[in-house]
């Protein structure tokens, strides 16, 4: 009987943050950027079960058993902005791919 490989179940993806500048969106200028080196906590309905830190490009991968999880930034941001919570369902035997956008709280001038 084959042994199941560990690390085949969980979540992976990229987290970005935006808008990255005030004022209107400018053509040719990105309005979001990777959320680099940020630590997030993964919790099930009872308690925290894992943590991960994004890389320089906002990518991450974390192994988790199947189930429903909520992901939030570990260190709360001071002031405005929203960095989760993000809900995710992990399915047996696969990595759940996500792309999450965090909100800096900056707004364009009208």
Residue 99 has pLDDT above 90, yes or no: yes
Q: Distance between CA 96 and CA 106 in Å, rounded?
A: 30
pTM: 0.81
Structural Rg of the chain based on CA atoms = 16
Do 101 and 18 touch, CB atoms closer than 8 A? yes
69-95 confidence digits (pLDDT tens):
999 999 865 666 788 899 999 999 999
Contacts of 107 (CB under 8 A, 6+ apart): 19, 22
SS3 content of the chain, % helix, strand, coil (to 5): 0, 45, 55
18-39 confidence digits (pLDDT tens):
877 666 666 766 678 999 999 9
> In the chain, what are the domains?
10-19+34-103 (2.60.40.1120)
Q: Give the largest CA-CA distance in the chain.
A: 64
What pLDDT score was predicted for residue 23? 62
Do 52 and 40 touch, CB atoms closer than 8 A? yes
């Amino acid at each position: 009987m084959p042994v199941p490989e560990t690390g085949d179940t969980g979540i992976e993806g990229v987290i970005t943050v935006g808008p990255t500048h005030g004022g209107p969106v400018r053509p040719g200028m990105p309005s979001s950027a990777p959320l680099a080196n940020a630590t997030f906590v993964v919790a099930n309905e009872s308690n925290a079960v894992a943590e991960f830190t994004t890389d320089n490009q906002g990518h991450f991968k974390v192994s988790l058993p199947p189930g429903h999880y909520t992901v939030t930034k570990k260190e709360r941001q001071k002031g405005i902005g929203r960095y989760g919570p993000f809900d995710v369902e992990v399915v047996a035997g696969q990595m759940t791919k996500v792309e999450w956008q965090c909100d800096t709280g900056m707004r364009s001038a009208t």
